[in-house]
Amino acid sequence: MKPGIHPDYHPVVYQDRSTGESFLTRSTETSDQTVEWPDGNRYPLVVVDISAASHPFWTGQRRVLDTAGQVEKFRRRYGDRATRRPS
């Protein structure tokens, strides 16, 4: 790697805003906020809106989409015009 052209890669703590869960990883992202980690060191803190701790896919709280209702709404609005071909 060329010296002097890459951003600083350092330890950062990411914290989920909704659950409060946090994890330590490495990143080039910076922050003015810091947090003391259980190892006794202070690291930059980056607060995120969603992570694996709160994402519906990973927590198993998926929303069920009403696809049948959407199809009926489309048919009420446009009827069979979408299936007919112009002569």
pLDDT at 58: 62
Q: In terms of Cα–Cα distance, which of 42, 50, 60, 62 is closest to 21? A: 50
pLDDT at 45: 96
pLDDT in tens, the chain (87 residues): 788 899 999 999 999 988 889 999 999 999 999 999 999 999 999 999 888 887 766 667 766 666 677 778 888 888 876 566 665
- pTM metric for this prediction: 0.62
Domain segments of the chain as ranges: 10-78
pLDDT at 27: 96
Helices assigned H by DSSP within the chain: 56-59, 67-78
